[in-house]
Structure formats: structure tokens, C-alpha cells
Amino acid sequence: MPKHIASGLKYLAAVRLKDEGKSQQYIADQLDIDRSTVSHYFNGRNLKWNSIDVAKTITELSPADFLAMVKAVFEDADMARKIVLICKENNYDAMIKESCIGCGLCVNLCFMKAIKLDSLHAQIDSICCCGCYICKEECPTNSIKILEIEND
Amino acid sequence: MIKNTKEIKGKDFDVTRSADEVRNLSFKNHICIGCGICESTCPVGAIDLGDVATNARAKVDVYFSGHDKIAQNINEPVDLQKVNVNEDKCVLCGMCSGLCPVDALVLTIDGVPIAEIDEYPSYNVYTIIDDDKCLLCQKCQNACPREAITIKRQLPNRVDLVTGEIEVNEEECINCGVCSELCPAEAIVVDPTTGQESIVIDKDKCVYCLVCKKVCPVNAIKAVCRSCSYGEYDLDPELAKVKGSAIIEDALCVRCGWCEGVCPADAVEVKKPFEGTLVVDQDKCGTCGACVDLCPCNALAFPISEGPGSRMEHVIASEEYCIKCGACANICPNEAITVTRTAIDNTPINSITWNKAFDALKN
């Protein structure tokens, strides 16, 4: 069953990428599936069961739960990151306050690998941020500020 | 989330956070000087200074106050836990490690100590003994309050320092043993046992002082010292040199400067982390001796009375050997000691928070 959900998520990702104007070959490479499968997706030969509905429900969860589900469904962490990036509902604007002590806890916690330390100060790549707020919640000095930007 | 682990080895411990990178904070109790900088610096309040007051009590057995010789309570040697880190609070930021003046707390990231990572600050400190100038006299080794210096030296052979000749006429020798007893170099062995009498002179030990020759009741010893006359030229001055080197155990060194102060050859250079002042308010001092016990630099002492009727200060402080670590001021129950840091010499850093932490050391 997780495989079906994974396929459902990949389907959603494929549709998003198509909407962005990406080629079928690009989509196939990104999602590590055959080009013919991508083609099938777009021609309405859909997946078994209600995989797409489940996948949609997952993307509509809170960002932290969405991330947790995707992590659970995909064994490959890199693929999970890709799916989260493509399918996330919102974009985020993240910044680190001056009070950051550079402990690196956020770097270690961020599944999306969006945070790096530079000169004992954390830097968040907002594009990679999935909005799970795990870093913000765990930051010992409350130095992380994340703003949600509506996609539409 | 990520949980830290703590491994305790006696009074030392390691706090570790394992993720994509492994951060490890290690504490070494024997290096810690109990200054408390880590406790006041920790941004998450994870560090507690242990009971450092009585830590060194056993190392001195008798104190002198201004009035009397007081034998203080002499306990069994104690070695208490000086610092504790709460592993549930610690976030492995390394601030305690960066600001620890003696490397008792060391944060490593993937096995590399932060002192070796450019982004992290470290104190510009050093202790250098110039081997070319060093006379290998061991004065620094004896003065070092932390036993951080070892002077390894190899003495020349005595035979290379003197020149002369010595012979004993065994037929004339009566094996009385007087020469043997007087010989300052213990170079003569006489066996007076009847029937197996013998006399042996060890020429490697003999310094040609001629005591044996002069004392021999039967003039059996012929000896001449050539060192003072042309014999000097037979000696190779290279062979007369003391060879060796000074070894400083950097981890133990607190840069107190005793070695530099006592060196008769100006061979030592010490750079301290802080500049500042140490002031003892004699009226507040209760002569409990906690500061004298704790001072890692032997910079505090009770003065020795000059005799009956003389008024002494309660505690005397040597600014020269003080590193302004503040351990004494922290521990003083009467707040009689004020340590002020006016300048800190550390490598530059970009982080505002870390710079603030260094600034906070200047009080």
C-alpha cells in the first residue's frame, strides 16, 4: 500500500511539474520513473485504487504531518525531499535572528537540508523550506522566524 | 527529535549529538580550573559549577595568617567534580568550549576540535620555551603550579669535563681504605678482606681532585690533574654541554607566567588570554583560604609573618602570575576579591552572539 501512495504522490508531483511546463523526459528523470509511465499518468490511465485521493489528502495535511508522511512512504530520503519540494502547498520566507548561537541543532534537524551554518550563524534556504517548523520549535534561543507565503 | 547522549568516565564526561555530523563536548576534570566562565556563558543554562571550594584543600597542609601559624583542617585528598553539563539542556553550540581559558571543555565536530576550525574563536595564547636559550636548569619545572613542564636533560660524562692521570701502586698499597672513604666522587673501591685485598679506581668517575694522593699514608697513589694547565685544550667543550629539551604539556598549562618569571635565561615567553586587575579587599577577607586553594596559578598566598607584633595583609595577590580567570572571586564567600578583565585576546569572529559572549567576560 505505501507503494501505491508513493505512486499517487509521484503522480501529483508529475502534474505540478507539467503545469510548470517541464518536459515528460525531465519529469521522468526527476521522479525516477519511466517516461512511458509519465505519459500514462497524463493520458488518464490512472493508478490503482484511490491512490491519488490519498496522496492529495496527504499534501493537504499540516506541513509537519505532510513531511512525516512523505518520509514514511519513501525509503529514499532524496526522493522524499524532492516530492515535498514539488508538492508543498505554500512557500516560506525564513530568517534567522542575530541571537543565533550557531549550535547547529536546526541544521541537524532539518530533513529538507535547507539550513547551513555560516560563521556560527544559521542560514535557511527559503526555497527548500517545507514549513514544518521543527527547527523553529527546537531552536534553544528562539532565533528562527518563518513566514508563510500563499502560493496563489 | 535528536537526543544527546552522555558518557561519564570518572569525573570526565562526553556529551554527544549524533546526526549528519557528530558533535561531542568533552570535559576533563583535571584540566578544569573552576573559573566558572562556562557556567556564566552557556546560553541555555546547561552548565553548573560544582563544589570547587574545597577542591585543592589537601595540597597545602599549613597556612600562615598574619598573626599565627594555623594548621587548617587537613582532609584526605579530594578531587571533586568541578563542572556538570545537563545533557538534556545542552545544545552543543560550543560556546563553553570557545570561551574556556584552559580547554577543559572541548567541542569537536566530526572529530575536529573547534579550536582548529577557522569560524570558531580561540584565545591567542602561548607558552614558548626557546630551546636555544634554555639552560635546562629546571626552575620552570619546579615553579609550574600545574606540573605542565618537564625538562628532560642529559648530563655530560664526567670524564669529558676533567683530564688527568691516576695510578695506584698495588704493591705499596696497604688497602687501608682511607682514600675510598674520602673520595668525593666515589671512584675508589677498596677490599680490605685479609687474603683478597684489592684496590680499584674507576677512571670514569675520578675528577683528579688528588684527595686520595694527599691522604695516602704510604704514598701508593700517583695522580696529576691537568685540567688547570695545558690540559684544558684536550677537552672538547661540546662534550661538556648539558643536552636536553623542555616539554610543555599544553593542555595543562594555564599561561600563568611562573616559568617566564623564574627563568634566569629569558628563554620563556608566555601570552595570557586576559588583561585586567585582581583586587583583594583586606577588610572583607575572612582568611578562609578557599581562593588560595583554588587559584590555578599560585597567585594568591597567605603572607608569612615578619615576627610578633607585625601586621600583615590577610591574603596577598601576585598580579604578575594571575590570569584573571576569576575563580577566586567566584568562590570567595565574603566577596572580598574583585577580578576585572579589561582586554581579551581572541581570534576574530563574525557572530554577534559570540562576540557578545566575549564582551560579557569584561565586567
Which of A98, A105, A134 minimises the CB distance to B91? Answer: A105
Is the pLDDT at A2 greater than 50, yes or no?
yes
**Could you identify the residue written with the cell 493537504?**
A60
Which of A107, A109, A141 minimises the CB distance to B1? Answer: A109
Identify the band that residue B214 occupies on the pLDDT scale cut at 50, 70 and 90.
very high
> Does residue A146 contact residue A136 with C-beta atoms inside 8 Å?
yes
Task: Mutate one of B1, B358, B359 to test the A interface: name it (highest A CB count within 10 A).
Answer: B1
Last residue of a domain, one of A67, A87, A107: A87
> Does residue B274 contact residue B361 with C-beta atoms inside 8 Å?
yes
Residues A67 and A101 grouped into a single domain: no
Last residue of a domain, one of A46, A68, A87: A87
Q: Do B91 and A140 touch (CB under 8 A)?
A: yes
Q: Distance between CA A117 and CA A123 in Å, rounded?
A: 6
Q: What is the pLDDT of residue A41?
A: 83
Element (H, E) at B37: helix B37-41
Residues A103 and A132 grouped into a single domain: yes
Q: Do A101 and B43 touch (CB under 8 A)?
A: yes
Q: Render pLDDT for B139-184 as a digit per residue (tens, 0 to 9).
A: 999 999 999 999 999 999 988 888 899 999 999 999 999 999 999 9
Half-sphere exposure of B53 (CA within 13 A, CB side): 10
Residues A70 and A8 grouped into a single domain: yes
Residue type, B141: Q
Q: Distance between CA B80 and CA B85 in Å, rounded?
A: 15
Residue type, B269: E
All three cell numbers of A4: 501505491
Backbone angles phi, psi at B152, to 5 degrees: -95, 120
Residues A95 and A50 grouped into a single domain: no
Residues A53 and A95 grouped into a single domain: no
Q: CATH number, domain at A102?
A: 3.30.70.20
Residues A95 and A48 grouped into a single domain: no
Q: Looking at residues B194-207, what average pLDDT do you find?
A: 94
Q: Looking at residues A23-46, what average pLDDT do you find?
A: 87
Identify the band that residue A4 occupies on the pLDDT scale cut at 50, 70 and 90.
confident
Helix axes A77-87, A63-73, angle to 10 degrees: 140
Residues A66 and A111 grouped into a single domain: no
Domain assignment of residue A105, given as a range: 91-149
Residue type, B353: T
Residues A12 and A67 grouped into a single domain: yes
Q: Looking at residues B195-204, what average pLDDT do you find?
A: 94
Residues A63 and A135 grouped into a single domain: no
Backbone angles phi, psi at B85, to 5 degrees: -115, 125
Q: What is the pLDDT of residue B53?
A: 59
Q: Render pLDDT for B291-350 as a digit per residue (tens, 0 to 9).
A: 888 899 999 988 887 888 888 888 999 999 999 999 999 988 889 999 999 999 999 999
Judging by beta carbons within 10 Å of its beta carbon (0-12, 13-18, 19+), is residue A78 exposed, middle or buried? exposed
Q: Looking at residues B240-267, what average pLDDT do you find?
A: 95
Q: B44 contacts in A (CB within 8 Å)?
A: 140-141
How many CB pairs below 8 Å do chains A and B form together? Answer: 64
CA–centroid distance for B53 within its chain: 21
Q: B353 contacts in A (CB within 8 Å)?
A: 98-102, 120, 141
Q: Do A119 and B44 touch (CB under 8 A)?
A: no
Q: What is the pLDDT of residue B38?
A: 96
Residues A13 and A79 grouped into a single domain: yes
Q: What is the pLDDT of residue A46?
A: 62
Residue A110: how many other CB atoms lie within 10 Å: 22
Q: Looking at residues A67-71, what average pLDDT do you find?
A: 94
Q: Render pLDDT for B30-76 as a digit per residue (tens, 0 to 9).
A: 999 999 999 999 999 999 998 775 555 544 444 444 434 344 444 44
Which of A100, A103, A121 minimises the CB distance to B92? Answer: A103
All three cell numbers of A36: 512511458
Is the pLDDT at A79 greater than 60, yes or no?
yes
Domains: count for chain A? 2
Q: Distance between CA B90 and CA B87 in Å, rounded?
A: 5
Q: What is the pLDDT of residue B312?
A: 83
Is the pLDDT at A130 greater than 50, yes or no?
yes
Which of B1, B19, B93 minimises the CB distance to A102? Answer: B93
Q: Render pLDDT for B259-292 as a digit per residue (tens, 0 to 9).
A: 999 999 999 999 999 999 999 999 999 888 888 8
Closest chain B CA to residue A100:
B353
ipTM of predicted complex: 0.85
Distance from CA of A34 to the nearest CA of B (A): 32
Is the pLDDT at A97 greater than 60, yes or no?
yes
Q: What is the pLDDT of residue B311?
A: 81
Average pLDDT value for chain B = 89
Q: What is the pLDDT of residue B174?
A: 95
Q: Do B1 and A138 touch (CB under 8 A)?
A: yes
Q: Looking at residues B197-215, what average pLDDT do you find?
A: 95
Task: Mutate one of A108, A118, A134 to test the B interface: name it (highest B CB count within 10 A).
Answer: A108
Residues A8 and A66 grouped into a single domain: yes
Q: Render pLDDT for B81-123 as a digit per residue (tens, 0 to 9).
A: 889 999 999 999 999 999 999 999 999 999 999 999 999 999 9
Last residue of a domain, one of A87, A102, A126: A87
Residues A74 and A99 grouped into a single domain: no
